Structure 1
């Protein structure tokens, strides 16, 4: 296409009106005019040209946009879009005129930023050269050809970074023109009959105002996209086969690779680098660079020595050591051969940690005493933390002792590791000591440290001290986690402290945590163990209202609450009501019922429930065997009582003081005095002390002598 058909003389003259002067367009004179006004553009300095290297997006769509505008124009009537041929010179001139006008406006700003010292006339000369080059490339065959040739063979007039700026600005202009074109298209679709009909229907159903306006634009855009989709299908059908035998996807990949081409601008002569007014080509900066390299040598890690020959064989032996092996001798041989520095030791430990973690900690502990290793606080702390994670408290304390003996005092991070370790294993005294040590340093505990200390108090059965720490967190605007609240609630519930449990439950709700199945069950358990069956039932009903379905454990807690008051009728009514709602009792509920019926000497009913437990395929818990021994002993069933007692003796390590006392009392009441004394001996062997009531019962049984029932 000839240039005079693409760009009219009027367009060039309009673009050339710079400084209020009209300059006629003549491509041959452009370089002469610019040479008199500005330095060559290929001499851009590093700092000045860096502004041209942002958002490098080539203008591939430009020639397609120009061609599509020349060939077709959309005229929308209703839903359909008709193609109208438009090859008039005015439209061609208007499209290119808009592109070049936008291009010059943006390019002027970029040149002004890069050349702040240049006056307006110099900038104008640069603009003339750039626009002239763009027009020249368009005259040769279009922007696409200009792009391809620019990537392969950069212009001798412009540097590569300047060309990329031209592409960037061109792409920006095309995007703005495309947005404007789409805006005009949407305006046409807003007036389509189908969109108007949809708006009328929306008004009839009560949609007005901003919502109707948004829907109208949404429907217009959808119609425009639908129309563009069908037009693209028609265009694909009419397009020729891909050239050079490549598919469209392959061509797109090649184009994407071309977009990513980045190269430094080509320069001539001696380089002078200027950054923020500093002339870095001055000799004084060489001295600065030498000093920087000296400092880097002090802080930059050295490379470990390369291993070869016998030293390499010894290294392989170290890596193949087993956990029970003693690595001291082979390490001494390795030290003699290599004469290692700290970086060599670190390399060895890293390889051991990856390839042989079983021997890693043992070697790491030996390395601490080596002078060439230069052990510091992080080395001791890392080993203490590794032992703490494996719950090897004695080993961790040994490293701590070694650390202090070598004159290295624990820092805040090491003390934090100790708090976590002692809290985890339940050594509350040492945890408190480490925690207070941190405070003496002025260190404010964080969320993890509070959590560890609170869990330490909870595990030690001291929920009140744990709650005081939680209140301290709240005063420091550290929000306790749900895990902390639940741990405190469990501790209060298991210790039958209904006041504390209720206080934590209310605090949780104020903190934004809604009641869960577990929290409601814990409240039922707390009130049940405290003997307040009414409050337990109130919380049980509240749980159901919240939408939580009672499980076997929660139901067992509710039945246990009725057991303490001996309200068997209410317990049975509750079970019948739950069974109507689909509840099926599990082993926890059956265990409570067996114990209750055993205390009432309802042997047949209790044995029926034992059959239910067997049907579940579950192993009866220890509490069931304690209940059976109590029931059969008091009922006088000797054989069954001794069978249950045999099971308890086999599991004597699992019995607590309460289970021992209940079993001994039951044996004495049933006349099994000799067996009661034997169980009392097992109780003392476990370190449990009998209560005064039990000692009195044993002494009375010795006076009256044994009585052996003959039933069962």
Structure 2
């Protein structure tokens, strides 16, 4: 008979250890069957009660579990705070396990034995497992994956393919590729076949890890199976091409997406634009910039700056100036980095008067240049030896602007 006393209480985790052992004592209960006497396995629950080494021992012919209440003086402040923040709506069985997991110390106990004891004592259902896993996820608890993997083997959890996919995706976010693949193999061993969601998670994982071949093989597998390809699957594969330096192939895939009216997320377009910009391929950078707008993404100052950088890197000063003016006409205020790029353009073409006009226009719009642009401007003027002349011109501009404001008043 299973006995569970005080379900709201939990172990003092820094010394909690479950020890399975055998007891060969004859039971005083004459009604026990031969089966019970031949299988007298029980658990001894060791917990701190004051000094280490003191324990409470529960022995019987049948398995029996007792949860000893945590001594708040023997846990740290962080553990007490986590326990205090547990949701009030948690059931007693979930709260009891959460307290033990919060205070769990691997040096003193085994997570599998702890969870086994909870299952045998509490008889959880799938909803209980999901509540515990959700709380561990919210806490970003280091044991959340171990608990999830244990749950996959429990009948009470009633695991399905989506449970495996969630774990694979979780490992992917932590770049734990081998653990994710182990979970995938365990899923297949249970007879589950990969579906669209699982394969998409794998493409994203392999793409993020920079494993282009596995990402491409998985992507092709989805096509062969006739599974629908959504923006996440396409986007992850495009990112795999970008990371592999295969920009043209990635752009071709973007075109394929658009032909099916499937559009990647802004991060994918930005990555493609940035890659072309860094290589100075202004033609494809502009084409990607146009595709961004077709996808319904409104360009911001970062996107515009990357496009301008493509023209500057390509040495196309006129096109960079046009892009800068188009940005300003669209009401997008240039950043300090963007202004710095334009200073590079004007310095290369030795257009001192033009740069002063632009700076004054920016000042009228309430835009003051920052550190990066200021350093570039000072270095340029110093090289020209016209620091005093520029200061005089700026003073003249300032007095003209003040007089015009006075006339308007």
TM-score of Structure 1 vs Structure 2, range by shorter chain: 0.5 to 0.7
1:432 maps to which of 206, 216, 239: 216
Cα distance, 1:391–1:533 mapped onto 2, change above 3 Å: same
Tell me how far 1:503 sits from its aligned partner: 1.6
Distance 2:317 2:128 in 1: 65
Cα distance, 1:320–1:554 mapped onto 2, change above 3 Å: same
Q: In the TM superposition, what whole-angstrom CA distance separates every residue of 1:107-147 from its partner, at most 9, and x where no partner exists?
A: xxxxxxxxxxxxxxxxxxxxxxxxxxxxxxxxxxxxxxxxx
Asked whether 1:584 is paired with 2:364, we answer: no
Gaps of at least 5 residues in structure 2 are 6-63, 69-92, 392-409
Secondary structure of the structure 2 residue equivalent to 1:320:
helix
Cα distance, 1:568–1:400 mapped onto 2, change above 3 Å: farther
Partner residue, 2:126: 346
Q: In the TM superposition, what whole-angstrom CA distance separates every residue of 1:322-363 from its partner, at most 9, and x where no partner exists?
A: 46533122234456x4596xxx36355234225555233212
Partner residue, 1:535: 319
Distance 1:594 1:462 in 2: 40
Distance 2:104 2:167 in 1: 17
Asked whether 1:381 is paired with 2:135, we answer: no
Of structures 1 and 2, the one with the larger relative CO (CA 8 A, separation 6+) is 2
Partner residue, 1:313: 67
User: Could you tell me whether the CA contact under 8 Å between 1:387 and 1:393 is conserved in 2?
Assistant: yes
Secondary structure of the structure 1 residue equivalent to 2:67:
helix
Distance 1:570 1:338 in 2: 80
Partner residue, 2:113: 329
Secondary structure of the structure 2 residue equivalent to 1:352:
helix
Tell me how far 1:585 sits from its aligned partner: 0.9
Partner residue, 2:343: 559
Q: Equivalent residues in 2 for 1:95-494 (5 A)? A: 308-309=4-5, 310-311=64-65, 313=67, 316=96, 319-321=99-101, 322=103, 324-325=105-106, 326-334=110-118, 337-338=120-121, 344=124, 346-357=126-137, 358=141, 359-369=143-153, 375-404=159-188, 408-458=192-242, 461-480=245-264, 484-494=268-278
Secondary structure of the structure 2 residue equivalent to 1:592:
helix
Tell me how far 1:555 sits from its aligned partner: 1.1
Secondary structure of the structure 2 residue equivalent to 1:445:
coil
Tell me how far 1:418 sits from its aligned partner: 1.4
Q: CA RMSD in A?
A: 4.0
Q: In the TM superposition, what whole-angstrom CA distance separates every residue of 1:361-404 from its partner, at most 9, and x where no partner exists?
A: 21221343457766553332232233334444443233223334
Distance 1:423 1:380 in 2: 19
Larger helix fraction of residues: 1
User: Could you tell me whether the CA contact under 8 Å between 1:447 and 1:478 is conserved in 2?
Assistant: yes
Gaps of at least 5 residues in structure 1 are 1-305, 609-712
TM-score, scaled relative to structure 2? 0.59
**Structure exhibiting the larger radius of gyration computed from Cα positions:** 1
Cα distance, 1:594–1:459 mapped onto 2, change above 3 Å: farther
Tell me how far 1:527 sits from its aligned partner: 0.8
User: Could you tell me whether the CA contact under 8 Å between 1:529 and 1:561 is conserved in 2?
Assistant: no
Cα distance, 1:508–1:382 mapped onto 2, change above 3 Å: closer
TM-score, scaled relative to structure 1? 0.36
